[in-house]
């Protein structure tokens, strides 16, 4: 069987390392982003997409089917937009600023949910031995608050709740589909911030893709140590 990875959101860190790791493991790799990654990251196909426009996401899956002749086996949503909050935080929701909030929500949550819907459709049509795994690159903002990150945190929290709901309610359990909110932490459980490790994410994402059963939906992990249960309630 030809295994296929689709990554939505390219980048020189997580996106590039995940692409290379899965390619080395025998996957065909498609990257969807506004522009092709540079330098080449080992992907077999680049698809142009603007994730500020959620209605463009379904065409990405159509392109994968057309080019590879199969459904994606694994889908990784790695895109994010980090707009700083205004000095008066709630002025984010005034007419002059609301467009910035809407743009961030489009990338950080709405396009994720569209991609998740398209992925589950694909997985249902994939061969029985396909991985059928969806992984979202998250952070700790679904469980903590930090200064100046209301806007960013709202997007992460929406997506985290959707993933938790789908897993805990076993919506797709009968289809053999696994869904994860992946969050790298320090050894003490604190957010890693801008120090995220592409190689660590690649190692853990490949591990999740090769796992047969759904694990903790909130997959908090430490570089070099793997999964660590830092948040109560993350298990099934």
Question: Which residues are annotated as catalytic?
Answer: 156
Q: What are the CA-CA distances from residue 186 to residues 5, 6, 92, 203, 224 (Å)?
A: 27, 28, 31, 16, 11
Structural element, H or E, at residue 181: strand 178-185
Distance CA 209, CA 197 (A): 18
Torsion of CA 16, 21, 26, 28, to 10 degrees: -20
What are the residue ranges of helices labelled H in 83-229? 98-105, 111-125, 150-168, 198-210
Q: In this structure, how many other beta carbons lie within 10 angstroms of the beta carbon of residue 127?
A: 12
Contact 215, 178 (CB under 8 A): yes
* Long-range contacts at 187-195 (CB < 8 A, ≥ 24 apart): 187/222, 187/225, 189/220, 189/228, 189/230, 190/140, 191/139, 191/140, 191/141, 191/144, 191/146
The closest alpha carbon to 77, from 165, 164, 154, 180, belongs to 180
Distance CA 146, CA 152 (A): 10
């Amino acid at each position: 069987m030809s295994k296929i990875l689709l990554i939505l959101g390219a980048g020189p860190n997580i996106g590039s390392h995940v692409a290379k790791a899965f390619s080395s493991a025998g996957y065909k790799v498609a990257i969807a982003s506004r522009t092709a990654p540079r330098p080449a990251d080992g992907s077999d196909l680049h698809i142009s997409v603007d994730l500020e426009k959620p209605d463009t996401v379904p065409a990405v899956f159509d392109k994968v089917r057309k080019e590879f002749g199969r459904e994606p086996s694994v889908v990784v949503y790695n895109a994010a937009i980090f707009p700083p909050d205004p000095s008066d935080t709630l002025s984010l929701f005034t007419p002059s600023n609301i467009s910035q909030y809407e743009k961030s929500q489009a990338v950080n949550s709405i396009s994720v949910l569209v991609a998740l819907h398209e992925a589950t459709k694909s997985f249902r049509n994939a061969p029985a031995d396909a991985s059928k795994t969806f992984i979202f690159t998250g952070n700790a903002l679904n469980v903590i608050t930090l200064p100046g990150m209301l806007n960013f945190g709202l997007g992460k929290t929406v997506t985290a709740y959707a993933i938790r709901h789908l897993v805990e309610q076993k919506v797709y359990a009968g289809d053999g589909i696994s869904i994860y909110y992946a969050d790298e932490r320090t050894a003490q459980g604190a957010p890693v911030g801008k120090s995220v490790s592409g190689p660590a994410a690649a190692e853990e994402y490949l591990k999740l893709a090769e796992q047969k059963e759904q694990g903790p939906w909130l997959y908090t992990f430490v570089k070099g140590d793997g999964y660590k249960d830092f948040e109560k309630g993350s298990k099934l």
